[in-house]
């Protein structure tokens, strides 16, 4: 695979046009996967209240399934990001979703949603460990990374976040999405890279 116009997210990584890599560590429960598939090539990364986020993604799955049947084609990523009931119930729900995926119209995309706000970004980070890695992401991110470079960037970012944040840890789940496939990978905590202070 050649070079892509890569945009990255620390816990999710987006490669516009070519690939989307989604990445989330397990925090509140070491056994809960917080990367949720809502359609064939669209995933949500959840943070905040697990119950609230799961309710929102369950509603998104239902709406996208119905939408796909109505449109007689796979949904666009923006459609998935727009199915966001957290704004209507922003006083009752505590859920932060990052929606990422690949579609035929716009390729790879990342949308951040927080209390109903919807923004498309070249990358988005979220969750308790994200505040520890903004400097790293700003310094190390660059356009034009290959798929492998992009995945390693995400692994390094997440390893740093997990090392600094007392609420993070366990295993990491990575999903890479492109025009042709969706690839899932589990990375155990002891297989993540270590840095000078570990």
Is residue 57, in this structure, part of any structural domain at all? yes
Is residue 123, in this structure, part of any structural domain at all? yes
Is residue 89, in this structure, part of any structural domain at all? yes
- Residue 139, domain extent: 5-191
Is residue 106, in this structure, part of any structural domain at all? yes
CA separation, residue 193 to residues 23, 44, 107, 167 (Å): 15, 25, 30, 18
CATH code of 50's domain:
3.60.20.10
Give how many domains the chain has, as a whole number. 1
pLDDT in tens, 144-192: 888 888 888 888 888 888 888 776 667 778 888 888 888 888 888 888 8
pLDDT in tens, 74-122: 999 988 888 765 556 666 667 778 889 999 999 888 888 766 678 888 7
CA distance 55 to 78: 19
Residue among 91, 85, 97 at smallest CA distance from 126? 97
Residue among 109, 93, 104 at smallest CA distance from 43? 109
pLDDT of residue 13: 40
pLDDT in tens, 28-50: 454 467 788 888 999 988 777 77
66 band by pLDDT with thresholds 50, 70 and 90: confident
Is residue 196, in this structure, part of any structural domain at all? no
Asked if pLDDT for residue 5 goes beyond 50, the answer is no
pLDDT of residue 103: 92
What length does the chain have?
Answer: 198
pLDDT of residue 168: 67
């Amino acid at each position: 695979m050649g070079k892509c116009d890569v945009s990255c997210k620390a816990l999710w990584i987006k490669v516009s046009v070519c690939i989307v890599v989604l990445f989330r560590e397990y925090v509140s429960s070491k056994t809960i996967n917080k990367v949720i598939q809502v359609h064939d090539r669209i995933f949500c990364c959840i943070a905040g209240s697990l119950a609230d986020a799961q309710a929102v993604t369950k509603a998104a799955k239902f709406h996208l399934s119905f939408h796909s049947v109505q449109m007689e084609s796979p949904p666009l990523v923006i459609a998935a990001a727009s199915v966001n009931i957290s704004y209507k119930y922003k006083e009752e729900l505590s859920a932060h979703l990052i929606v990422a995926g690949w579609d035929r119209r716009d390729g790879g995309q990342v949308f951040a949603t927080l209390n109903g706000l919807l923004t498309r970004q070249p990358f988005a980070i979220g969750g308790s460990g994200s505040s520890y890695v903004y400097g790293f992401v700003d310094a190390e991110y660059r356009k034009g990374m290959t798929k492998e470079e992009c995945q390693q960037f995400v692994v390094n970012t997440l390893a740093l976040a997990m090392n600094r944040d007392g609420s993070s840890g366990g295993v990491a789940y990575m999903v890479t999405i492109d025009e042709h496939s969706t690839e899932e990978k589990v990375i155990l905590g002891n297989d993540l890279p270590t840095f000078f202070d570990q």
